[in-house]
Structure 1
Amino acid sequence: MLTVLLTLADTPPEDNDVVAGGWGALVLVGLIIAVVLLGFSLFKQLRKVEAADKAGVYGRDDDPVEPVDAPAADQKADDQQS
Structure 2
Amino acid sequence: MVTLTLLAAVTEGPAPEDVKAGWVALIIFLLLALAVAFLGWSLTKQLRKAQAAKDAGAYGDQPVEADSADEPTGGDSPTSV
CA RMSD, aligned part only?
2.2
Aligned to 1:40: 41
Which amino acid in structure 1 is aligned with residue 45 of structure 2?
A: K
1:11-26 counterparts in 2 under 5 A?
16-26=17-27
Q: How far apart are 1:42 and its partner, in Å?
A: 0.2
| Distance in 1 separating the partners of 2:44 and 2:62 | 24
Cα displacement string for residues 45-78 of structure 1 (whole angstroms, at most 9, x for unaligned residues)? 000000000000000249xxxxxxxxxxxxxxxx
How many residue pairs align between the two structures? 49
> Does 2:56 align with 1:60?
no
Listed as ranges, the gaps of 5+ residues in structure 1 are 1-13, 63-82
Percent of residue pairs identical: 45
SS in 1 for 2:17: coil
Q: How far apart are 1:40 and its partner, in Å?
A: 0.2
Bigger relative contact order, structure 1 or 2, given CA contacts below 8 A and separation 6+? Answer: 2
> Does 2:30 align with 1:29?
yes
Cα displacement string for residues 18-46 of structure 1 (whole angstroms, at most 9, x for unaligned residues)? 23300000000000000000000000000
| Distance in 1 separating the partners of 2:20 and 2:50 | 45
TM-score, normalisation: structure 2:
0.53
